[in-house]
């Protein structure tokens, strides 16, 4: 598909707007994950549903470390950018696979890979 320069700029601007909206959505999501975790004395269900990649990284890091936190902070802005781009180009060629990967990661979190969640 060929896009003119102005169309490319519009798509890029929408992706940035989506990333900003994703960053705003990330704030209550992070808060929910922290509160439900109860400083290690609660449950990590909310974190696993909202931030499955970060939780899966605990297998490598041994805990919720810097890499997992960075992935979590970037996740929703990335989702927002992808969703906004999909809307701007009227296609879901990126959004549908991203949603599928997220759901598969959530299922992996509850599959027994993370012992305190199974």
Distances in whole angstroms, Cα of residue 34 to Cα of each of 15, 46, 106: 28, 9, 17
Query: How far apart, in whole angstroms, are the C-alpha atoms of residue 75 and residue 8?
Result: 23
Residues 6+ apart with CB under 8 A from 51: 29, 33, 68, 71, 72, 75
Average pLDDT rounded to a whole number, residues 92-98: 77
Distances in whole angstroms, Cα of residue 38 to Cα of each of 41, 47, 106: 5, 11, 20
User: Would you state the pLDDT for residue 23?
Assistant: 97
Query: How far apart, in whole angstroms, are the C-alpha atoms of residue 77 and residue 6?
Result: 23
Average pLDDT rounded to a whole number, residues 64-73: 90
> pLDDT tens digits, residue range 97-109?
888 999 999 999 9
Residue 118 pLDDT > 50: no
For residue 36, what is the enclosing H or E element? helix 5-37
> pLDDT tens digits, residue range 9-61?
988 999 999 999 999 999 999 999 989 887 667 788 999 999 999 999 988 87
User: Which residue has better confidence, 50 or 91?
Assistant: 50
Query: How far apart, in whole angstroms, are the C-alpha atoms of residue 29 and residue 102?
Result: 15
Residue 72 pLDDT > 90: yes
Average pLDDT rounded to a whole number, residues 73-86: 92
């Amino acid at each position: 598909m060929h896009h003119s320069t102005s169309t490319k700029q519009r798509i890029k601007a929408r992706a940035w707007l989506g990333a900003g909206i994703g960053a705003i959505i990330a704030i209550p999501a992070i808060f929910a994950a922290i509160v439900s975790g109860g400083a290690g004395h609660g449950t990590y269900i909310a974190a696993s549903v909202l931030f499955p990649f970060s939780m899966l990284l605990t297998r490598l890091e041994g805990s919720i470390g810097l890499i997992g936190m960075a992935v979590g902070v970037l996740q929703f802005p990335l989702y927002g950018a992808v969703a906004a781009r999909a809307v701007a180009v009227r296609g879901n060629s990126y959004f549908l696979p991203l949603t599928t990967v997220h759901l598969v990661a959530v299922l992996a979190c509850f599959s027994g890979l993370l012992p305190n969640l199974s």
